[in-house]
């Protein structure tokens, strides 16, 4: 058990070392944040919309004679 704790600690230290070596400029990353905000919001809500469509029974082209039409 102690070996697992030591191994996980070593991996965490290596991860922090790599992150520190990257020297990421967070001010530059935040500069274009608002430009991509609408795309990110739409991409975030897409799975919720898809789940609602699946559970509501909606199917594309579910009109008369469509192969997607469910028999009742």
DSSP state of 65: T
Question: What band does 1 get if pLDDT is binned at 50, 70 and 90?
Answer: confident
Spatial distance between the Cα atoms of 52 and 54, rounded to a whole number of angstroms: 5
Compute the distance between CA of residue 6 and CA of residue 30 in angstroms, rounded to an integer.
36
Asked if residue 67 has pLDDT above 70, the reply is no
pLDDT digit string, tens, across residues 2-54: 899 999 999 999 999 998 888 888 788 788 888 888 998 889 889 998 898 88
**For residues 60 and 68, what is the distance between their CA atoms, to the nearest angstrom?**
7
Give the global pTM. Answer: 0.37
């Amino acid at each position: 058990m102690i070996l697992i704790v030591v191994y996980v600690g070593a991996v965490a230290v290596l991860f922090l070392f790599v992150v520190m070596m990257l020297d990421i400029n967070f001010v530059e990353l935040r500069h274009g944040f608002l430009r991509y905000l609408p795309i990110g919001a739409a991409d975030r809500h897409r799975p919720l919309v898809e789940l609602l469509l699946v559970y509501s029974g909606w199917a594309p082209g579910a009109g008369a004679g469509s192969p997607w039409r469910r028999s009742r």
